[in-house]
Structure 1
Amino acid sequence: MNQPSGAQSERISLLRVLGPGHVWALGVGIVLVGEYMGWNFAVGKGGAVAALIACWVAGLLYTCVAMIDSEVTSTVAAAGGQYAQAKHIIGPLMAFNVGLYLVFAYTMLEAANAITLGYLVQTVGTMAGFENTHDKPFIVLTIMFLAWLNYRGVYATLTFSLVITAVAFVAIWVLFLAVQPWSDVYMKHGELLTGLPYGWLGVLAALHFGLWFYLGIEGTTQAAEEVRSPARALPLGTMTGIITLLIAATMTWYVCAGLMPWEYLGQAVTPLFDAARLTNSTLLMVLLFIGTIFSTLASANGCINDASRAWFSMGRDRYLPQAFGAVHPKYRTPYRSIVFLVPVALVFAYFAPLDQVITFSILSGLLEYTFMAFNVIMFRQKWPLGVIKRGYVHPFHPLPALVLLLLCMATYFAVFLGYGTQLVAMIVFYMVASLWFALHRYKYVHRGAQFTMPWPKPVRY
């Protein structure tokens, strides 16, 4: 007798083939593009000094995120990351919303990467004398190629990300050393740093795009069901990833702020590539062109991986149509989820402006981080230390959760200052989606089958 597709998708599981290096590549690969583009819009909001303050404040926020994620995900080792956490710790409605936060954050980031790559190819083509070079074909080809790569298997996908992410990170180091930061041959910070042109309100506004330095590091959780040793690989890959990004973000700011006036830097599309052009070194220009291309490819590649895992997990639990929970019988990937999200990314990459796409991604991520603060507090209350085995225990609890919540509140206000309409629109969208789930979709959910962790009953159950 033929088995229904749902039973087949549950019988065929994802492959456990990844190690800590792949987790690092997934987290850093998604985020490193933030050093190559997007972060500099914070400069336009408040000046170069405000952008540096926003960089470090956002770094503190994401350090809290990484610490919290490392504990909860090494314990809830299931595909879907924060979605799986919400499902087991808080409840179905929260899980549905968190799943949507993840999908939209990563899909919008994927679109932003494709836009940047297309712009860069068009710019270089024009510089080389090809006046008719257009960005749109490269946007489409990028998304289609990476979707195909993800379709074919997770090991090859994240090994590819590991290599190109390492190259992009090395390119930042080479540029940093080439501009001789110990001298004033290239660096003109004394002339270019103008303090806070918009005062401390500008610092707060800059926090909006300061998140772009690190947005996506929490995506390491999406590999939980495909790593060989979740208790070791997830904390190690995530914590080394945030350290890598803190170093890269500070170096990026230092180089760009010392080479470009803040008025130009605040609206540049590819600031690191522009910094290389200002050195008049062809070798550096080529290296940073490759670094920018590789960072956008690695980020878009990781975004497709993460968004499809969240969508797949929701389909497997019937929070979405069950067809999305299918696993490819040969490649062992969530192939239907990968294919379904391709046109969504293409629409936004093709028609939406870059800053709007970045803002939608940041807002979805911000909602997810707010959830994480409450999530870890409830996790510790329901299953205190010693009740269940944890792969990693983050220190100073509940201080990281409280700091994360405070910084999220400040960032909401920062986003509201420049993109209030988008903030309200996103909140309304998620409220409507919640009503749809509660009134229509939840009746299809197998309520007992969705809880898969072998945990004891919560305290005071």
Structure 2
Amino acid sequence: MATPSKSPALQQTLGTVQLWGIAVGLVISGEYFGWSFGWASAGTLGFTVTSLFIAAMYTCFIFSFTELTTSIPHAGGPFAYSKRAFGPIGGYFAGAATLIEFVFAPPAIALAIGAYLNVQFPALDPKVAAVGAYLVFMTLNIVGVQIAATFELAVTLLAIFELLVFMGVVSPGFSLANFTKGGWSGADGFSMAAIPGMFAAIPFAIWFFLAIEGVAMAAEEAKDPKRSIPIAYIAGILTLVLLAVGVMVFAGGAGDWTKLANINDPLPQAMKLIVGENSNWLHMLVWLGLFGLIASFHGIILGYSRQIFALAREAYLPSYFAKIHPRFNTPHRAILAGGVIGIAAIFSDELIKIGGQTLTANIVTMSVFGAILMYIISMLSLFKLRRTEPNMVRPFRAPFYPILPAFALLGACVCMVTMIYFNPLVFGLFVGFLAVGLVYFLLTKGQRQAALPGVAA
């Protein structure tokens, strides 16, 4: 459905390199923290198998998702694709899932920023630092997308450089024996008993790549989305796969990897095992490591704000959030709304710290539930649109169709089933959020009909 001419519009200012910076920057914090929680259940070798499966799923997904993004460049991303394929109810579920993914990822990253700063300033409360990060980067996103994207590219390049430095510094102490010891859920040899731990580690393998699809929400602001988005996506996923494998292997081989599981700052702690606590290398890693966290945090704020904006513009959320700042041409109200929810999540220990996991682990899992549901709906949308709209202009077509999107869909379904099994309480909370949103969606049908006359609501 075309956006009505009177709807608020975003400016087309982003180039290919900036979109690549957003693609990698959205995700790169996943190389710095979050993934090591997977070692707690799967071990290093078990988690490697899980991660390779997830990397294959994401690669197939991105090659398929790019077809939708270039065919329907819309700030709503998956919301727009699913609405076109399955109507308003499909749009609701895809939009709500994406919103949960992008609103819950930032507080996890903000807590990691606080943990990194706490290494340098032990008296600084990580939660206070997390709130400070929200205030700074919401402001930067409001000031303008061109400034925000340029900043995103700069910190992404610095974050990549820092990951390479980390691998170089710990490499002299790398030992394959360290990496493989107890690598199958605590055992040295593989057995069937290791398989449940590998499945339980799926959310943390997904964290390596979570939110790369957020580039879709910058599609309306791309100068040439039909050309630049495929390049950004494909180069981005290749960059992230190589970095994920390198970081995981070098960190695990630096010493006793069990000391790195269930913590928010595995890379500084891994480096301590090699260079000691007072090395200048360690201080450099902590400071420069912040760039990786900032890149993702900043980029995901851009992503959630465009999702809120797009849903409000089509009356799925209150139109209040669809306003564009008169000076900066950014969806400032949407930026602030997501920030309020994220800050509330940071202080919701009793609500989100459930199932025996840390607050960060449960926030990560909640975000991943949203992502996986969105991936499933998006791949179903691709199949549906191929059948119902065979003549749609598709500047980029998913290669090896239907094999790649089918593998992505199958992988996402496997992830969803296993995540529900291992995280029933978080899943219940996830379903609760969807149900509350669905009630609002059903009660506001008249609002959408009034906002978009003649269009199914």
The TM-score, its normalising length taken from structure 2, stands at: 0.90
Match runs of 1:229-244 below 5 Å: 229-244=224-239
Aligned partner of 1:97 in structure 2 is 93
Q: For residue 231 of structure 2, what is the amino acid of its counterpart?
A: L
Say if 2:291 is the partner of 1:304: no
Deviation at 1:229, TM superposition (A): 0.2
The partner residue of 1:171 within 146, 162, 168 is 162
Aligned partner of 1:217 in structure 2 is 212
Match runs of 1:285-324 below 5 Å: 285-324=282-321
Deviation at 1:170, TM superposition (A): 1.0
Percent sequence identity over aligned pairs: 25
SS class of match (2:231): helix
SS class of match (1:10): coil
Match runs of 1:248-397 below 5 Å: 248-280=243-275, 282-352=279-349, 353-384=359-390, 387-397=391-401
Alpha-carbon distance in 2 for matches of 1:89, 1:450: 20
Cα shift readout 1:353-398 (whole Å, capped 9, x = no counterpart)? 11111111111111111111211101111122xx232221111111
- Which portions of structure 1, spanning 4 or more consecutive aligned residues, are displaced by more than 4 angstroms? 447-452
Alpha-carbon distance in 2 for matches of 1:450, 1:123: 55
Relative to structure 1, the CA distance from residue 301 to residue 191 in structure 2 (aligned partners, 3 Å threshold; closer, same or farther) is closer
Aligned partner of 2:355 in structure 1 is none
Q: Which moved more, 1:47-56 or 1:347-356?
A: 347-356
Q: Is the 8 A contact 1:369 1:408 kept in 2?
A: yes
Deviation at 1:238, TM superposition (A): 0.9
Say if 2:109 is the partner of 1:109: no
Alpha-carbon distance in 2 for matches of 1:163, 1:55: 28
Aligned partner of 2:188 in structure 1 is none
Relative to structure 1, the CA distance from residue 137 to residue 451 in structure 2 (aligned partners, 3 Å threshold; closer, same or farther) is farther
Q: Is the 8 A contact 1:204 1:410 kept in 2?
A: no
- The runs of 5 or more residues in structure 2 that have no matched partner are 186-192, 350-358
Q: For residue 448 of structure 2, what is the amino acid of its counterpart?
A: V
Q: Is the 8 A contact 1:150 1:338 kept in 2?
A: yes
SS class of match (1:32): helix
Q: How many residues align?
A: 434
Q: Is the 8 A contact 2:12 2:222 kept in 1?
A: yes
Cα shift readout 1:45-93 (whole Å, capped 9, x = no counterpart)? 1100011111111111111221122111101011111111112222111
Deviation at 1:327, TM superposition (A): 1.2
Deviation at 1:413, TM superposition (A): 3.2
Say if 2:184 is the partner of 1:196: yes
The partner residue of 2:140 within 132, 149, 154 is 149
Q: For residue 244 of structure 2, what is the amino acid of its counterpart?
A: A
Q: Is the 8 A contact 1:87 1:451 kept in 2?
A: no
Q: For residue 70 of structure 1, what is the amino acid of its counterpart?
A: T
The partner residue of 2:117 within 121, 125, 129 is 121
Alpha-carbon distance in 1 for matches of 2:376, 2:101: 14
Cα shift readout 1:208-261 (whole Å, capped 9, x = no counterpart)? 211010001110101110000010111111111100100000001111110132
Alpha-carbon distance in 1 for matches of 2:405, 2:450: 29
Deviation at 1:113, TM superposition (A): 0.9
The TM-score, its normalising length taken from structure 1, stands at: 0.90
Alpha-carbon distance in 2 for matches of 1:450, 1:149: 36
- Give the aligned CA root-mean-square deviation in angstroms: 2.1
Alpha-carbon distance in 1 for matches of 2:312, 2:129: 31
Relative to structure 1, the CA distance from residue 262 to residue 275 in structure 2 (aligned partners, 3 Å threshold; closer, same or farther) is closer
Aligned partner of 1:19 in structure 2 is 15
Alpha-carbon distance in 2 for matches of 1:260, 1:100: 42
The partner residue of 1:54 within 50, 68, 71 is 50
Q: Is the 8 A contact 1:45 1:266 kept in 2?
A: no
Alpha-carbon distance in 2 for matches of 1:186, 1:451: 67
- The runs of 5 or more residues in structure 1 that have no matched partner are 1-5, 127-131, 453-461
Relative to structure 1, the CA distance from residue 416 to residue 319 in structure 2 (aligned partners, 3 Å threshold; closer, same or farther) is closer
Deviation at 1:104, TM superposition (A): 1.5
Alpha-carbon distance in 1 for matches of 2:453, 2:102: 24
Q: Is the 8 A contact 1:309 1:334 kept in 2?
A: yes
Alpha-carbon distance in 2 for matches of 1:64, 1:23: 20
